[in-house]
Structure 1
Amino acid sequence: MATFIVERNIPGASQLTPEQLRDIARTSNEVVDGLGVAYTWQHSYVAGDKIYCVHETDDADTVREHARRGGFPADLVTPVATTFGPATADS
């Protein structure tokens, strides 16, 4: 599976309540269960008017289908080329 970063423009995203985030997560999980393909939502970051999600699946079209079924925007779906962090400096 490939990893994708999904950028969702949602005005006021950082003001969403824990209950609203829970409802979004429940909807996302239900859609994932109904896709019928390998799909993992890793986690999401809320920052300002955006939510950035990390998803794993075979292709970007499946990420867009998840968004369509869930009623979520998917303004940008970008495949992750690689990851690195502080320990990369030690290799």
Structure 2
Amino acid sequence: MKRFMIEREIPGASQLSQAELADIAKASNDVVAGLDVPYTWVNSYVAGDKIYCVHETEHVDTILEHARRGGFPANTVSVVANEFGPQTASLAAS
């Protein structure tokens, strides 16, 4: 499956309570269960007026359908081209 980064513009996102985030998570999980295609919600991060989500599926259209059914925006959807972190430095030529 491809991995996608989704940027959702939600004014006041960083002010959402744990209960509100739980409601959003439940709505997302319910939609995922009804998509009838391989789909994994990996994680989400809240920063300012945005929520950044990492999801896995085969097609961008599935990401957009998830957002439509869930009633949340998908302002930008990008395929993740690669991942790296501090451990990647060990692969550098000396």
**TM-score (ref. length: structure 1):** 0.99
Following TM superposition, where does structure 1 have runs of at least 4 consecutive aligned residues deviating by more than 3 angstroms? none
Cα offsets for 1:6-46 (capped at 9, x unmatched): 00000000000000000000000000000000000001000
The one-letter amino acid paired with 1:34 is: G
Give how far 1:79 is off: 0.2
Compare CA radii of gyration and give the structure with the larger one. Answer: 2
Cα distance in 2, alignment partners of residues 44 and 63 from structure 1: 14
Cα distance in 2, alignment partners of residues 65 and 44 from structure 1: 18
Q: How many residues align?
A: 91
Structure 1 residue runs of 5 or longer lacking an equivalent are none
Partner of 2:84: 84
Tell me the secondary structure at the aligned position of residue 82 of structure 2: coil
Structure 2 residue runs of 5 or longer lacking an equivalent are none
Cα offsets for 1:45-68 (capped at 9, x unmatched): 000000000000001110000000
Query: Percent identity among equivalent residues?
Result: 65
**TM-score (ref. length: structure 2):** 0.96
Please, what is the CA RMSD of the aligned residues? 0.3
The one-letter amino acid paired with 1:87 is: Q
